[in-house]
Amino acid sequence: AQKVTQAQTEISVVEKEDVTLDCVYETRDTTYYLFWYKQPPSGELVFLIRRNSFDEQNEISGRYSWNFQKSTSSFNFTITASQVVDSAVYFCALSEEGSWGKFQFGAGTQVVVTP
């Protein structure tokens, strides 16, 4: 069975600090996909990134970066120089090959950025 664990319930930082969100997953499949989504207070889930299990290269997009390590089954997300607009709940999700639209989401991490 697949499982996604986001151990951090809430992280509070002051603007311009860096924040790292942890995501640990479990799956028996060799082919799988990992995602990060942002859910601002308005409620809609915003897609941030997709990574497949064969691509372990780290990725950077602006102030966002992702560290994928298969050896530890982790897919961590770092926001550099945080801003108030980054305040949201962030979800990590896992999808196995052939599972179609069945995403297994973690419980989410609430990020609070104060000025």
Partner 1 sequence: DAGVTQSPTHLIKTRGQHVTLRCSPISGHKSVSWYQQVLGQGPQFIFQYYEKEERGRGNFPDRFSARQFPNYSSELNVNALLLGDSALYLCASSRDGNNQPQHFGDGTRLSIL
- Choice between 17 and 105, CB closer to partner 1: 105
Residue 42 or 115 having the CB closest to partner 1? 42
Question: Smallest distance from the beta carbon of 4 to partner 1, in angstroms?
Answer: 8
For 33-77, the DSSP string reads: EEEEEEE-TT---EEEEEEETT----EEETTEEEEEEGGGTEEEE
Q: How far apart are CA 43 and CA 49, in angstroms?
A: 18
Please say which residue, 33 or 78, places its beta carbon nearer to partner 1.
Answer: 33
CB of 82 to partner 1, least distance (A): 22
Q: Which residues would be at the binding site for partner 1 (CB under 8 A)?
A: 4, 33, 35, 37, 42-47, 50, 52, 91, 93, 95, 97-108
Closer to partner 1 at the Cβ: 4 or 113?
A: 4
Residue type, 4: V
Parallel, antiparallel or unpaired: strands 109-114 and 10-14: parallel
Tokens of 14: 């002051």
Q: Minimum distance between the CB of residue 106 and partner 1, rounded to whole angstroms?
A: 5
